Structure 1
């Protein structure tokens, strides 16, 4: 883990933003710097080498997107120059990723607890 990743991790771990992040999390053949599985968000902290591997990053991002993940990329100096701004960007993105699931009973359907004798 780079110093930039350590700095960001110190503020992501322990559900400080209200969700659980994992560091160095494998997804397919890739390893995400940070991944939140619910909602699905990958955060990448890019060093200078990423300027030369934009095609690789695009393929990687496409894979993450195909798995349902949104991807946020930050330059490696961002956690040092503006950590609060990075955290605010992440915090702003998280609510947009929550997809509320609402299951309404069809007309005539009994609630699960009544139909199956389950106590609430």
Structure 2
């Protein structure tokens, strides 16, 4: 089965990793060093010690996902205001479609959810992880 891509074929591929655009590696590193307040809270308060290994700002295809768990094939996105615009919503639908084409589950939370309803966000991630972890 051919994996979907966003059109450009400048992707590095291996048998062990999802394809990624190597030009995004430096940007991803910079984003890890400068997280948004919501990303920082979720990482430090929950995902850093999560029962499955979580990677931050991981290039996949032509995107950089906020958090990625390879064991669960789970992408966790923390969305800021730009995702609320019509253009942002269209972009997110296409991005999610491409990521799901790799067999990944994409879950999204808004910044305000992470900052103001932290416990329920963590509970939801735990429930998703339990479901995905038991499917293996």
Task: Give the unaligned 5+ runs of structure 2.
Answer: 1-34
The structure carrying a bigger strand percent of its residues is 1
| Residues in 2 aligned to 1:64 and 1:83: alpha-carbon distance in whole angstroms | 25
Over residues 30-74 of structure 1, what are the superposed CA-to-partner deviations in whole Å (9 max), with x where a residue is unaligned? 000000011110000001110111010001001110111101100
Q: How many residues align?
A: 98
Q: CA deviation at 1:95?
A: 2.0
Larger Rg: 1
Task: Give the unaligned 5+ runs of structure 1.
Answer: 101-120
RMSD of aligned alpha carbons = 1.0
| Residues in 2 aligned to 1:95 and 1:12: alpha-carbon distance in whole angstroms | 14
State the TM-score, normalizing by the size of structure 1. Answer: 0.78
Q: CA deviation at 1:86?
A: 0.5
The residue correspondences of 1:5-84 to structure 2 (distance < 5 A) are 5-10=39-44, 11-13=46-48, 16-52=49-85, 53-84=88-119
State the TM-score, normalizing by the size of structure 2. Answer: 0.69
